[in-house]
Amino acid sequence: MGETERLWLVDRTYDDKGLISLAYATADGTAVRRIERAPIAVERSGGVTAAVDADPDALEPISDADLRERYAAEATRMAARHEPDETV
């Protein structure tokens, strides 16, 4: 397996279809990986973790400066308060 990037949970929302949308961002807020899951899938997998490791090629760059700043602040907060595999 190649190199991976550590991403921290920065946003969790629920859509009108009942799906959970998770956003995991790099510590500097420059890139994000968005994941949609059904609540039952989250429950079966043991929950949502504070961090995930992802292939850098699977990341989407964040061009909006305000969003980058918000995601960087939240990723830093999550990294300071939680272990990567901790359920949040």
Q: Whole-prediction pTM value?
A: 0.90
Q: Say if residues 24 and 9 touch (Cβ distance below 8 Å).
A: yes
Domain count of the chain? 1
Residue 14 in domain: yes
Between CA 49 and CA 41 the distance in angstroms is 13
38 part of a folded domain? yes
Domain range holding 10?
5-81
Q: What pLDDT digit, counting tens, does each position of 43-60 carry?
A: 888 889 999 999 999 999
Q: What is the DSSP string of 3-56?
A: --EEEEEEEEEE-TTSPEEEEEE-TTSSEEEEEEE-HHHHHHTTS-BSEEEE-G
Evaluate whether residue 65 is within a structural domain: yes
Neighbours of 5 (CB within 10 A): 17
The arithmetic mean of pLDDT across residues 58-80, rounded, is 97
